[in-house]
Structure 1
């Protein structure tokens, strides 16, 4: 493999290798040269070397090598010479395109040569099998091998260039040009798979650009030039997607355009928006969304009327006719009238999304299902004056379908109008962005709408009808098609009908409850009678309308003037709201800055508080350890005193008894005392049981005798009270009989008096009832008015309360989240403090263990529980001397402790030898040989388990509680 030591020899040596047929070696050498650090220092021959390198990559179809070289060259030229990088990339694309075009011109059957589903896929298995089986290659296979690899390389070239230029703000024009060339490549050769991938690549580039917008040399979308390039690329993508009939990708392109305009909050030019709405009409028509198609046509009509100054009357009439026919083609019933709540919510979100794409500003709080409907669109068309531009045939069709009531002649009158409308259409000469308008595409949908209107009107007039009669009335479809249309209408509650195929009849009307039918029969009858009178006497109706209109002409002018004044006030309010919105935005920015400053100060305060808490925690840990040492020492002293009071044998006998032995004996003494106490309690319990049993045996006969005497007394009392009640009842019965005989003589007079009183009161009652009904009717009328006013006020108050409650709940939710976050931070801080304290304690234990081992090695000269030997220890030379000095101290301590009185070790050494006795007194070994280090006062280590001694020792209790609280 050749290498180049000097830049001036690079091109010459590469040409020599190419001339002798070693293109691979020349390419590899140039690749090594470009990717090396030396190449970055050469400034004069960069472009020439890159041109030669690109030519070799294209000749040998080495896309990976070309990509690596261009990436390195971009690093060099990014800040120094961007124009050179642009020239190299253009040369790369031109060479790839020329090679692909040359291969295509050499192939004789282009369609078969390009019959590949995926340009990025490898060879198919059947091709490999055929190449091994057959010795000769057919013409189709040779074409495939000639053309397909070059088209693969060209597609890889486009992808490489887009990847290199995606984040360069200085080469945005080249990036847009490359994307356009890639779109034209997909369009020219019908490459649908590659087009989808290309759209996804460009979409990901924009997403990454928004994600990392703060990096250096990134394009600024707010700049007009960058926004123009990005929007131009998306509109070209939309055009190619519709021409390739990739409608799903076209809809995603529309969403990309809307997302880009929402991101920068700036609308494109009117010419681009005309293309946008024109493509939307095609997409919605293909997806059978007739209502959205009509809304898109309406926006396109408004745009052309407002911004296209060259629009002639004929083209405007054709566009207006398309708008009205598109609105009439939408089904006249609501698809979600019988839908579930989930479907309603889904349709609400879908309508809101479509409203945003079409360009209508809608309030999210409103019910979008009601706002986005066919009736509201037709009302907008009438109010915006679209009806004044449509042709006469379309206008007549609108009146027949929406205003007329002709159940028998509707289809016969609609059919000739549809035949005339089908001949209208053509290319618009004054609106190049609008596609060719052909009104014949709306004929099938209009025939379906006319059939639905006919069924609706027939169902209001007839209850039953023969199938043959209905078939003759509908010339557009046969009866199975009419039945299919009616099933969908019945499903959505547009009409109520049933087909009886056995009788050959159609039954109209709701077959449910009779009350539903009679609910509004009077109003329907009044409307129908009014229409009949207007049809019988049309002249009187017109005259009455004119006479009714002329007196109110002044009122109409006054109303129009008030509307204009209201519109002016609305415009002023909108201006004020916009200014207020700007002020609020400035206030929010200032609030954000203050919040950021406050967060910084709070973070600094938290750090200082954390350091203070950490120092405080360490101090508390040290105090707890000192307190535990003091309590342990006091506990040992107390145990020694208790044992001496009982007159037992002294525990400490020379140096054989350690502190651990003392603690073990104290624990045994505690267990023995507890066992004696339990025996005493068992004996006392047994004595109390015998005493209680004896008391109950003596009291049982006395209780039984008292119960029997009480039972006899209660029986006598019950008999006496029962006899007294019988006598009283007899006396009351005799008195009642006497009273009855006395009053029986005046019963006739009583009936006459009762009749007179009843008649007089009945008359008074009737009079009062009549007055009450009149008064109640007046009160009910007044209350009804008051209730209506109160209902309106309650609705307003309820709406306001809901809004305030919603704001209050959001504020409370935010406060709860803030409190939970603070609690979580506090818990994490405490856990971290505990972890630091635990590590500190372990570190101190390790240091104490090392210090103990060192001192033992110095004093005894022998290793203890470790690999350290006396000869290896740093203080090994001083060990014999220390042991000799410690021997007299140990003897003195032994002689001092033989007197029978307990003396702590730190007091046994005399004042003449403190240096020798201090290490020996501070290093001791417990009974099990753990080798824990004691403190200055002889207390056991703070991290060793200690038993809690019973009795009345308060020191033991306090020591145990402090230990567990730690």
Structure 2
């Protein structure tokens, strides 16, 4: 690990490595600096280092390095300068997005390049084998290899940022903005798998927020701003889910919004509720929950009518028509008939869960529980004036299908109304939050309802009917479809009919002896026949039997007397038995009272003993706390001194608090000392620079003066040398004149010495040759 005295040195080192093409080494150097424990206090140069760090991470696609660095930087600056962390994260996301867009622009076949089911999944072995054995070496493969890694890195960037910003009250605005960008990424590129995973991530973050309520710096959902941010995030999630046609995820998003509203016990703004119920209408319509689809429309109608002051009469009429048609689209019979107990319980739980989403209050008691139904919805629509606000053709259709009895003419009157309704609809000019109202979507269900009404009314006036005639009465469907509809209606006891294909007829009614209709007819017939018999043969009055009764009066009185005596003895015996039972009951109650009294005395004695123990434990605990407080004050006095101790101690303190205070004070003193040293070093630098700047002209002046002095000294030395040379020359001339007298003697001596040298040389040569013997 490289160590740097200042953070700026690490940045310079990283730039030098980048210039020579060693980006990985530069990234490692900055990573070592950021993760070092030496730089735990925020400084302005650290922000520049983080900017360069995230740039290198994006260039090299090192998501893990980016996550580690951002986590360390969050620890450093979340208590001092959160805005710096926000700037770094925004820069990080901007660079990742730009790289992905740049790669997308370079690739011409974006659809092929992003044809990946899961951006987090690695390459499968079969994909690698296919890429080797196939001839896919053209532009498509190069685009996929160019674009897909960058989009994987962009998705990883969003996940990393959300993980870093989660459950922090100071960063919840940036968290919401990041979630919105991630949703837009999934929407733009149709990333359904990533969208589901993103929803699950946000859902887990909220669950952890509720789980760890004592966490420091956690967002307060009771605050209006925090709640609005979380609601906006989930509303955006709901919108994107419906646009991507992920209806199951949309339903879970609705549950998230409802759970969030229930958690804070606060009703959101009407604008949020409008989007909430508008998306519920789409979800329930797709899932064939027509009853709750109608209830959602009803809630939407009430919201628009109550809070939208700019709502025009035409738009109100269109919404009311949609509400009424949605209510008519609900099946007119109860689907619970014929279901098992287990299915009914599951259905009740499901209805309770869905009803909570549309804000129904259902009683928890089984016997008082009122489940929403078609009849209650229609009665509520009539009571709230929704039917009166609907268009005339919708009201006429409602009256025909619900209140008129026209089995033969119903189709001829309903068809023109349906054709008019199919052409009605469009976007609302004064209610932009409400989705486009298309009344034509209700035509299939209305046609099915018309067929059911015809079957129901025909079963009341016909006993049998030809299949051809029934097909003419229901021209919307083929008879096979009509038969399927009738089977479902018979299954749920809405109509009683049988189809005989051999005879080509339809038989209405149920001939079962236990059927309700037949039993009613039989009872009416029995009453009518009894009344007719009494009219034809009136009952004859019998003669009085008073004489016979008087003859048997004495016997009757005796029997009655005996009966009364027996009854009196029975009553007395019962009284005795009752008194005995009362005495036994009183004895049992007395025994119970004594046992309860004894038990209460024992409980009181145990309670007193427990109180004594608790008081003793509390006294010991208080004594221990008092000793710890004294030790803490003593430690604090030793570490900080008496003056700082008085300023720091406010209330009771503990050893841990003392240690933290001492560490904080030491850290503060160290920081102040570092600041003083930095200030002193800067002052010394300034003084040294000022001294040198002031010395420059003085040194130049001294140098020029010294040059002049040395020049004068040099001239004096030259003159002195010349004078000395002249004196030496004059003395040499005198010496020459003095020695010139001896020149002749010198020449003679030299010549004689030369002759001697010649003679000595000849003798030496002769000696060498042996011709001369001096002896």
What range describes the TM-score normalised by the shorter chain of this pair? 0.5 to 0.7
Three-state SS of the structure 2 residue aligned to 1:360 is: coil
In structure 1, the partner of 2:105 is 105
Three-state SS of the structure 2 residue aligned to 1:465 is: strand
In structure 2, the partner of 1:257 is 257
CA contact (8 A) 1:426 1:438 kept: yes
In structure 2, the partner of 1:470 is 470
Q: How does 1:266-665 map to 2 (within 5 A)?
A: 266-365=266-365, 370-513=370-513, 516-521=516-521
In structure 2, the partner of 1:162 is 162
In structure 1, the partner of 2:227 is 227
**Residues 523 and 114 from structure 1, CA distance in 2 versus in 1: closer, same or farther, beyond 3 angstroms?**
farther
Give the count of matched residue pairs.
537
| CA distance in structure 1 between the aligned counterparts of 2:393 and 2:110, rounded to whole angstroms | 48
Three-state SS of the structure 1 residue aligned to 2:498 is: strand
The Cα shift of 1:30 comes to: 1.1
Asked whether 1:118 is paired with 2:153, we answer: no
Instruction: Using the TM superposition, name which of 373-382 and 6-15 deviates more.
Output: 6-15
CA contact (8 A) 1:459 1:508 kept: yes
In structure 2, the partner of 1:201 is 201
CA contact (8 A) 1:322 1:437 kept: yes
Three-state SS of the structure 1 residue aligned to 2:10 is: helix
CA contact (8 A) 1:352 1:368 kept: no
Q: How does 1:504-903 map to 2 (within 5 A)?
A: 504-513=504-513, 516-521=516-521, 761=545
| CA distance in structure 2 between the aligned counterparts of 1:333 and 1:131, rounded to whole angstroms | 58
CA contact (8 A) 1:348 1:369 kept: no
**Residues 496 and 370 from structure 1, CA distance in 2 versus in 1: closer, same or farther, beyond 3 angstroms?**
farther
The Cα shift of 1:59 comes to: 0.3
1:539-586 deviations in Å (ceiling 9; x for gaps):
xxxxxxxxxxxxxxxxxxxxxxxxxxxxxxxxxxxxxxxxxxxxxxxx
**Residues 228 and 136 from structure 1, CA distance in 2 versus in 1: closer, same or farther, beyond 3 angstroms?**
closer
**Residues 523 and 218 from structure 1, CA distance in 2 versus in 1: closer, same or farther, beyond 3 angstroms?**
farther
Three-state SS of the structure 1 residue aligned to 2:475 is: coil
Instruction: Using the TM superposition, name which of 235-244 and 35-44 deviates more.
Output: 35-44
TM-score (norm 2): 0.67
**Residues 357 and 5 from structure 1, CA distance in 2 versus in 1: closer, same or farther, beyond 3 angstroms?**
same
CA contact (8 A) 2:42 2:80 kept: no
| CA distance in structure 1 between the aligned counterparts of 2:441 and 2:548, rounded to whole angstroms | 79
The Cα shift of 1:134 comes to: 6.0
The Cα shift of 1:412 comes to: 1.9
| CA distance in structure 2 between the aligned counterparts of 1:224 and 1:149, rounded to whole angstroms | 40
| CA distance in structure 1 between the aligned counterparts of 2:265 and 2:311, rounded to whole angstroms | 29
CA contact (8 A) 1:187 1:240 kept: yes
**Residues 121 and 207 from structure 1, CA distance in 2 versus in 1: closer, same or farther, beyond 3 angstroms?**
same
CA contact (8 A) 2:167 2:209 kept: yes
In structure 1, the partner of 2:594 is none
Three-state SS of the structure 1 residue aligned to 2:39 is: helix
Three-state SS of the structure 1 residue aligned to 2:511 is: coil
**Residues 449 and 23 from structure 1, CA distance in 2 versus in 1: closer, same or farther, beyond 3 angstroms?**
same
CA contact (8 A) 1:497 1:506 kept: yes
Three-state SS of the structure 1 residue aligned to 2:545 is: helix
The Cα shift of 1:514 comes to: 6.2
**Residues 370 and 263 from structure 1, CA distance in 2 versus in 1: closer, same or farther, beyond 3 angstroms?**
closer
The Cα shift of 1:100 comes to: 0.6
**Residues 94 and 295 from structure 1, CA distance in 2 versus in 1: closer, same or farther, beyond 3 angstroms?**
same
CA contact (8 A) 1:61 1:153 kept: yes
CA contact (8 A) 1:447 1:476 kept: yes
CA contact (8 A) 1:2 1:25 kept: no
**Residues 515 and 420 from structure 1, CA distance in 2 versus in 1: closer, same or farther, beyond 3 angstroms?**
closer
| CA distance in structure 2 between the aligned counterparts of 1:483 and 1:131, rounded to whole angstroms | 55
| CA distance in structure 2 between the aligned counterparts of 1:460 and 1:369, rounded to whole angstroms | 33
1:847-889 deviations in Å (ceiling 9; x for gaps):
xxxxxxxxxxxxxxxxxxxxxxxxxxxxxxxxxxxxxxxxxxx
CA contact (8 A) 1:351 1:369 kept: no
CA contact (8 A) 1:412 1:473 kept: no
After superposition, the CA RMSD in angstroms is 2.3
In structure 2, the partner of 1:878 is none
**Residues 406 and 84 from structure 1, CA distance in 2 versus in 1: closer, same or farther, beyond 3 angstroms?**
same
**Residues 511 and 11 from structure 1, CA distance in 2 versus in 1: closer, same or farther, beyond 3 angstroms?**
same
1:366-401 deviations in Å (ceiling 9; x for gaps):
668754110110000011111111111100100000
The Cα shift of 1:9 comes to: 1.1
In structure 2, the partner of 1:94 is 94
In structure 1, the partner of 2:681 is none
CA contact (8 A) 2:41 2:76 kept: no
**Residues 764 and 105 from structure 1, CA distance in 2 versus in 1: closer, same or farther, beyond 3 angstroms?**
farther
CA contact (8 A) 1:317 1:391 kept: yes
**Residues 279 and 115 from structure 1, CA distance in 2 versus in 1: closer, same or farther, beyond 3 angstroms?**
same
In structure 2, the partner of 1:47 is 47
| CA distance in structure 2 between the aligned counterparts of 1:523 and 1:413, rounded to whole angstroms | 38
The Cα shift of 1:415 comes to: 1.2
CA contact (8 A) 2:466 2:506 kept: yes
| CA distance in structure 2 between the aligned counterparts of 1:304 and 1:487, rounded to whole angstroms | 40
**Residues 239 and 523 from structure 1, CA distance in 2 versus in 1: closer, same or farther, beyond 3 angstroms?**
farther
Three-state SS of the structure 2 residue aligned to 1:38 is: coil
| CA distance in structure 2 between the aligned counterparts of 1:302 and 1:523, rounded to whole angstroms | 48
Three-state SS of the structure 2 residue aligned to 1:507 is: strand
Three-state SS of the structure 2 residue aligned to 1:364 is: coil
CA contact (8 A) 2:459 2:497 kept: yes
1:101-131 deviations in Å (ceiling 9; x for gaps):
1111111111111110000011233442244
CA contact (8 A) 1:428 1:434 kept: yes
Q: How does 1:7-22 map to 2 (within 5 A)?
A: 7-22=7-22
| CA distance in structure 1 between the aligned counterparts of 2:110 and 2:515, rounded to whole angstroms | 73
Question: Where does structure 2 lack aligned partners over 5 or more consecutive residues?
Answer: 526-541, 550-598, 611-775
**Residues 2 and 20 from structure 1, CA distance in 2 versus in 1: closer, same or farther, beyond 3 angstroms?**
farther
The Cα shift of 1:518 comes to: 3.6
**Residues 467 and 113 from structure 1, CA distance in 2 versus in 1: closer, same or farther, beyond 3 angstroms?**
same
| CA distance in structure 1 between the aligned counterparts of 2:518 and 2:131, rounded to whole angstroms | 83
| CA distance in structure 2 between the aligned counterparts of 1:373 and 1:123, rounded to whole angstroms | 52
| CA distance in structure 2 between the aligned counterparts of 1:476 and 1:48, rounded to whole angstroms | 73
**Residues 52 and 398 from structure 1, CA distance in 2 versus in 1: closer, same or farther, beyond 3 angstroms?**
same
1:270-324 deviations in Å (ceiling 9; x for gaps):
0110000000000000001110100000000000000000000000000000000
- Ranked by relative contact order (alpha carbons within 8 Å, sequence separation 6 or more), the top structure is 1
| CA distance in structure 1 between the aligned counterparts of 2:218 and 2:85, rounded to whole angstroms | 17
The Cα shift of 1:764 comes to: 7.7
In structure 1, the partner of 2:726 is none
1:786-814 deviations in Å (ceiling 9; x for gaps):
xxxxxxxxxxxxxxxxxxxxxxxxxxxxx
Question: Where does structure 1 lack aligned partners over 5 or more consecutive residues?
Answer: 526-757, 766-814, 827-966
Structure 1 segments (4+ residues) deviating >3 Å: 1-6, 130-136, 366-371, 518-525, 762-765
1:386-433 deviations in Å (ceiling 9; x for gaps):
111111110010000000001111122111111110000000000010
The Cα shift of 1:761 comes to: 2.7
1:913-952 deviations in Å (ceiling 9; x for gaps):
xxxxxxxxxxxxxxxxxxxxxxxxxxxxxxxxxxxxxxxx
**Residues 448 and 238 from structure 1, CA distance in 2 versus in 1: closer, same or farther, beyond 3 angstroms?**
same
In structure 2, the partner of 1:29 is 29
CA contact (8 A) 1:2 1:26 kept: no
CA contact (8 A) 1:169 1:218 kept: yes
| CA distance in structure 1 between the aligned counterparts of 2:425 and 2:264, rounded to whole angstroms | 38
CA contact (8 A) 2:7 2:46 kept: no
